[in-house]
Amino acid sequence: MAALGGDGLRLLSVSRPERQPETAALGGPGPGLCCWVSVFSCLSLACSYVGSLYVWKSELPRDHPAVIKRRFTSVLVVSSLSPLCVLLWRELTGIQPGTSLLTLMGFRLEGFFPAALLPLLLTMILFLGPLMQLSMDCPCDLADGLKVVLAPRSWARCLTDMRWLRNQVIAPLTEELVFRACMLPMLAPCTGLGPAVFTCPLFFGVAHFHHIFEQLRFRQSSVGSIFLSAAFQFSYTAVFGAYTAFLFIRTGHLIGPVLCHSFCNYMGFPAVCAALEHPQRRPLLAGYALGVGLFLLLLQPLTDPKLYGSLPLCVLLERAGDSEAPLCS
């Protein structure tokens, strides 16, 4: 492990006994090249993902089914090719993770079921208040609601709804694949796991700025409102990105972040203002507070790495001699 110019960034160097030092393996420019390769690779992935949404020329708004179908095609192509960027990064930096590329990106069987259930449960606990609010405002009782949710016809309607597919399936899967599974393995060796949790979401937040251009194009609101909304969305998506990056590192799986992303897309941002004006605001606000409290209390236990087996990113850092990464224990 070598320090990068005294700025706190660290470079992971895992090499075989017969290999030359990292600078030699990289052709001589020095270890700083590795971090620049990592940042440039992440930036390229973010630009490619967003750019794929605009390869189709159309005068229709983004929620039109024809636009959504075309974007499905392009974003799925980019997401499918994104692991090649990680493979190229590995070749350029000479870093050997000691595991397969798919395992490093969170595609593995060990600890799969806990990784699918526990992060989603933790996220639902955080949304206890909004879930109570939804149940209070829903005209049907719990039994009727379960019948609707479990009915095959309901799922058939969802699977033919382009907006539902985008928000609940395609966007969570492709965004988590690109912005978590691909970017975190490239950033973590350079910055360490902790800083990577907060660095990776910056690419995710900036990627959502493209909504500004669409809103300005179709004049959906005033310019001031559009930019204010974009700033709020950047903040919200950055915080959410840090949370799913944390889940990815602590569980070593992609499935948890994807399911949590889908759930959060369904719930939307908590309607706190509506809760303050709700006829039953006292129990509702208590539910909000209880949900946040339980979330903070259960965050560490439900993401304990011991529940999920060997963590690929932690193994990557351990091979470099960094066995004290706090997120790994």
- The residues annotated as belonging to the active site are 175, 208
Pairing of strands 2-4, 9-11: antiparallel
How many beta carbons lie within 10 A of that of residue 292, not counting itself?
A: 15
Burial class (CB in 10 A: 0-12, 13-18, 19+), 29: exposed
Residue 193 has φ and ψ, to the nearest 5°, of -70, -45
Angstrom distance (rounded) from CA 68 to CA 61: 9
CB 77 within 8 A of CB 51: no
Whole-angstrom Cα distance, residue 304 to residue 232?
31
Helix (H), strand (E) at residue 3: strand 2-4
Query: 54 and 70 in contact (C-beta within 8 Å)?
Result: no
Strand partners, 10: 3
What are the strands, taking DSSP E only, across the chain? Answer: 2-4, 9-11
The number of beta carbons lying within 10 Å of the beta carbon of residue 110 is 13
Which residue carries 């992440």 as its tokens? 42
Distance between CA atoms of residues 167 and 100, nearest Å: 30
Instruction: Give Cα 192 to chain centroid, integer Å.
Output: 18
Q: How far is CA 122 from the centre of its chain?
A: 16
